[in-house]
Structure 1
Amino acid sequence: MRDEVLEYLIAKACASISLRINENIVNKRLSEKEKKDYINRITEEDKIKTVLSWQTSEGYFGTRLHTPPSKSKVWPHEGCVRYLLEKGLGISYIPLRKALDAMLVQGWGKECEGSKAGEVFGYGMIRASLYAQAQLHEPDFMQEWTDIALQSFRNVAEANSYNDIAVPYKSKYVFAPGKYLPTIYMLRILAFTTKWRTFANIDIIDQAYRNLYDWLPFPPTYIKEKSQLVAPAGNIMAPYNQNISESLGFWWFSFYELSARVGMLGKDKPFRKHLDALNEYLDTHNGFFIENYNKRGYEFWSGYSGMALEDNWTKKQKRINDLTFRCHLINALADTTV
């Protein structure tokens, strides 16, 4: 059944899904001509052209790094970069390379620079996560943020309970001094890099995942900076230790794909049972994911949204193509990633 579904998607889905199935799931070695044909098809899509229309001569997309402008349809810079990467375009694609290079010049952090929330949150992890996904691992900041990401999982692995990480404060929770949780950005950094993967570090990640499985979900938790409380969005806090649902949607797919990439969805891993439940669902629907999930969270690309590779989810089959592709990608990664 899986093979028939993948053959259908290769033939009928958008060029990006077809390309990524060949490269990331069935591991087909494409000829130079085949790859070039895919790239030409992708870059001729209307949505790609729209995104490129937002790019300045310096390479930056729009005017903001992380938060989209109010009442604007323009995505933030990080969302545009993520979109191009997820569409299957590599750093040989000049607009994408320019966008990444634009994050090396003074002022690249845009609205995050000089913002207490941005500084406390550590907006440098945004750049590091994008560079990780683009396979640009040499800049000095990559090692710094890899170490920070590993420490976030060490915080969880070494804790006896969530109370070792966060403490009550005025009817809320704040992180204990020196403690913090993994964020989606930290998970992306580890998911797309390999130098950190020693036996000792993998054991830390493994124990952290076992604790996460037992303890999730976590209450909203803030960073206390003097008298100010900063909410670090993107923390791994949601109930990922349950089967997929529309309310979790994008976040569940993201967590499970990235977890598969760090080797935490193998047969003996605690979160695996929920991937198995997804596969039981696929088996009863001929290998397709047919739930009518709202397009919100999938079509708009930012740090915390964006997964649609098809151009328009108002067409039912395009939504099915996108989410079916994600299901089979997670499975492929879960069974092959070490």
Structure 2
Amino acid sequence: MISVAKAVVDLPKAALALLFLFLVACAREPEAVIRLDGQTMGTTYHVTLINPGNLHGDELKRQLDYQLQHFNQIASTYIDDSELNTLNRASIGEWLPVSEPLFNILSLAVEVSWLTGGAFDITVAPLVDLWGFGPRKRQGKPSAEEIEAEMAKVGFNRLELDMLEPKLRKTAALQMDLSAIAKGYGVDAAAIWLESLGVTDYLVEIGGEMRVAGKSPRGDAWRIGVENPGADSDAMLAIELGDIAVATSGDYRNYFEEDGVRYSHTIDPRTGSPITHRLASVTVLDASCAFADAMATGFSVLGAERTLKLAEASDIPVYLLEKTEQGFVARYSSAFKPYLPVATPNTAVEGEQ
């Protein structure tokens, strides 16, 4: 995997987040806690620093906002003159230089595409638009002819990356969209920046994707809850984390129905149509939030069985919620098992070995 640590930390929408942090009140919270909040990438960010030394919140927020704005200028599809949109407008066959941060994220995206057999693909945007889940709003199911026409504009293998320059060219009229990986990358870059300032205990969260290190404000490990979409908050799975990143992708809230058929917003780039399996939520743990972010999307396309098979082969901690006739059932890979609590009340857990 391309390490985000190699990116220039000059820093710089995706599935609705299914994670939130349990910041349980306690009697003795460390005196030095800085919390930063703001908006970026069409969503919100939250940063918590514990014992930040001589660092000051106002100055940290100013620098973080600047870096996130800079990253948006590189990777956003909503900024007309962003670097990514410049590449999207480039002629077929034209080699163009790419900045180091954008090249790193594109390289990682292509790596995840190969790993998932094309289930993750940053060129899927034309199909998302066609089905009415993108900026171009439309109603109803598209025709087979329309799907075929848009499929000609999709395919990560039609991107060529020159690892020496770095530069890129397209061999088809591709439109790249980094919404399923950019938030994770932004989290990683912000975390690396904080570490460069000497911060060892922190949480960085952008749009639900997060990375933690060290201790929480309670003085113990950071704790998160994984939402069960079929139950109330008491059915959440609470897990404690070490120095790791977490990303979640979910399918059950964004869809439309036509003639009694439910069409998910999650589009399979390999078929051009929404997924039809019952996997509702995927949570992935990894040292890299960008990798976890992208893999959560890829796994959401693959479905539970293929996800667990790939996760076992690649030793990836993954936790799934699958819709059944009896409700939502949780399954997980062997690598996720150490993160499970000893007792998991109100949550049906099926381990997959």
TM-score normalised over the length of structure 1? 0.26
**TM-score, normalised on structure 2?**
0.26
Q: Specify which structure has the higher proportion of strand.
A: 2
Q: Which has the higher helix share?
A: 1
